[in-house]
Structure 1
Amino acid sequence: MDSGEFFGPTAIAGLKGLACPILLYNVDDPTGHRDGRRFDSLLKALPLYDLVVVVRKETEAECLSLGAKQVMRVIRSYDEVAHQPFLNPTHIPTEFRSEVIFIGTWMRYEKRDEFLLHLLEQGLPLSIWGSRWKKSPHWAKLQIAYRGGSLSGRDYVAAIQGSKICLGLLSKGNRDLHTQRSLEVPFAAGLLCAERTTEHLEMYQEGKEAVFWADAKECASICHRLLLNDSLRENIRVAGQKRVLALQVGNENICRKILTHLRIG
C-alpha cells in the first residue's frame, strides 16, 4: 500500500483475506501534525499491516507506539526510468535551461517564498517551477523568477539537468532531513544545493558531492561562487551522481530491501 491514507482497518482487514503479506510504504509524515487529520484512517489501521515502511526516525518510533507490528526505515528513492538523465544534454529544450532552479510547490507556513525572495535580493539568477506560487504574499516580487507550473516526466528531468544548480528545500512541517529531491537531483545529473542536515551529510560529502547551507545568506554565497567556477561545479555534479548510484537507493533497490526484510522478519 503506497501512502495508505484512504484505507482504514476494515479495508486492510479485508485485504488480509488474500493470504499474503500486507505492506505499507509511506514517505510523508503520517504521525506528525502538518497535515491535520489526513492520516486518521491510516493510523487506526497500522496494527493490521505486516510491515510498515517509513523514512524518518520519529515516524518509526511513533508507528511502533501506535501498535505497528514491524517498522522499517529507509531512505527515499529516485526512479531508475523516470529520472534517467538525457544521454545527450544538448537535447534538453531551451525553455528548461537555467542558472539556479527550485522545483516545488508554494506551501503556507513553510516560508519557502521568503527564502527564495532573499536569494533574488542577493542578485541570484533564480528560476522557479511549481504550483500555487501566486498564493504567496510575495508573489509580486517572485513572479519575475517564475517559469511555470508543476513539472513531471521528461520535463522534470530536463529542468534539473538543464540547470547549473538545483535547490532542495525541506518541509519543516514534515520534519524532513532529506527529501525525494535529495536523491532525484544527483541521479538526474543535477547539482544538489540543499539545507545542511545530519541525513544530507550522511549521504554526500559536503563540497565534493553536493553543497549545503544553513540559511539563505549562505546559500546565495555558495551559489554565486559556484556560478563563477564551471570546473568546480562540474566536478561536484559528477561526483554527486556517482555517489547516489553507490547508495543504491533507486526504487528497485528500495523495493528489494523491503521484500528481503519481510522474508527475514
Structure 2
Amino acid sequence: MKRLRILYLGTLSGTCLDRAHAYRRLGHEVIHLDMRQWLPATAWVDRVTWRIGGHVFSPWLARRMRSELRHQHFDLCHVDNGEWVTPAIIGALKAHCGRVINYNIDDPTGPRDRRRFSAYRRAAPHYDLLAVVRQENVAECQALGARQVTRVWRSADELAHAPRAITPEVAARWHAKALFLGTWMPERGPFLLELIQRGVPLSIRGANWHKAPEWPQLQPHWKGGAIGGHDYAHAIQCAHINIGLLSKGNRDLHTTRSLEIPALGGLFCAERTPEHSELYQEGTEAIFWRDAKECAEHCLALLAQPEKAAAIAAAGHQRFLANRHGNEDILTTVLSKVAP
C-alpha cells in the first residue's frame, strides 16, 4: 500500500494514541489532532457530551477545524470514536481529505451511551466507511444510512503490549495471584466479591471502586487506581491469572483486554462467549467460565498448578500472534476497504 498522509482525530492517550503510532509504523505520515483540547478544560464539557450529545459543540469545532486545515490536504482522515464529529465537521474535513472514515470500539448504536453518540449517528451517512467491533453495530449503522460498514476485531498494540523483561524488583512490586484490572461497573462488584468469598486471592486495580456497594468487602483487595504504560504491562505480566470481565451495557462479547492480556503473555480467564471461543482454544490457550463459581474453581485449580497455568499463558500468547490482531494488522484491514 502506498504511503498516505493521514489526518488522525482522536485523544492523545490510550489505545487511540496507540493506533496513531501504528499508522506511523506502517509508514504513513500522521497529523494527530485532539478535538477535546479545543474545548474548555472543564468536566462540564464531558457531562454535556454524555447527557445531551457532542453535537452541541459543533459550531465551535467546525470553525476551528476549517482554521486548522487551511491550505492542507490529506489522503485520508481517520476519526477515532467520533462523539463530537457532526455532518458539518465532516463537510469541513472532506474539503481537505480524500476519504473520511470512522473507527469506534465503543457501542455507538447501543442502548447504554445513546446521547453521547448522537453526533456519530447523525454523521453515519456522511462517512466513507464505518469500522465497528460488534456484529449488531453493522446492521444498526446500515439502518442509519451508512455507505459502508465493516466489522473488525479489537486489537492490542505491537509495541505498547509487547512483553517486558521482568526484574526481581518489578516482580515484587506487581505480584498478584489473581488480578482484575479495570473500572468499577455495577455488575462487577458482586462477581468479584463472590470470587473472594470462594477463596480466590484476588487483587483489584482500577478506577471508581469506592462507588461499589460492596466496597467495604472489596477495599482490602484494592491495590490502586487506573494504570497505563509500563505499569499496566507489568501488572498483567506479574499476575498468575488475569480475569477479564465484559461490559454488559455495551453488549460486549470480547474487549480490548481479550487481546492485550494474551499479547503481554498473561493468562486470560474470562467469560465463555462465542467470540472468546473463536479467539482462543478453551483450556489450552485461555480459561473460560459461565459464572463466578466456575471462575473461582478454575482460579484455585490453576494456582495449585503453576506449570499448567504458565503453559496456557504461553499458548495464548502464541495464538494471539497467529491471529494477527495487532493494531497494524487491523488498521491495514481497515485501509484496504477504502484504498483508491
Verify same fold: TM over 0.5: yes
Q: Is the CA contact 1:99–1:126 (under 8 Å) kept in the aligned structure 2? A: yes
Match of 1:199 among 267, 271, 275: 275
Q: Deviations over 1:3-30 (max 9, x none)?
A: 0011111101110111411010000000
1:139 counterpart = 2:215: yes
Q: Which has the higher contact order (CA 8 A, sep 6+)?
A: 1
- 1:115 aligns to 2:222 (yes or no): no
Deviation at 1:92, TM superposition (A): 2.5
* Structure-to-structure mapping, 1:1-265, within 5 angstroms: 1-88=79-166, 90=168, 92-108=170-186, 111-263=187-339
Structure 1 unpaired stretches of 5+? none
Conserved? CA contact 1:33–1:173, under 8 Å: yes
User: Could you say if the C-alpha distance between residues 140 and 34 of structure 1 is closer, same or farther in structure 2, counting changes exceeding 3 Å?
Assistant: same
The code of the aligned residue for 2:211 comes to K
Identical positions, percent:
50
Compare CA radii of gyration and give the structure with the larger one: 2
Gaps of 5+ in 2: 1-78
Q: Is the 8 A contact 1:51 1:72 kept in 2?
A: yes
Q: Distance in 2 between matches of 1:19 and 1:224?
A: 54
Q: Whole-Å Cα distance in 1 between the matches of residues 122 and 309 of structure 2?
A: 48
Q: Distance between the aligned counterparts of 1:211 and 1:250, measured in 2?
A: 21
Question: RMSD of aligned C-alpha atoms?
Answer: 1.1
CA contact (8 A) 2:155 2:326 kept: yes
Q: Aligned equivalents of 2:166 and 2:220: distance in 1?
A: 30
Offset of residue 87 of structure 1: 2.9
> One-letter code of the match for 1:51?
L
Q: For residues 123-149 of structure 1, give each alpha carbon's deviation from its aligned partner in whole angstroms, at most 9, with x where no partner exists.
A: 110000000000111100000100000
Conservation of the 8 A alpha-carbon contact between 1:89 and 1:161: no
Q: Which amino acid aligns with 1:186?
A: P
Secondary structure, aligned partner of 1:67: coil
CA contact (8 A) 2:130 2:149 kept: yes
C-alpha distance in 2, partners of 1:189/1:19? 39
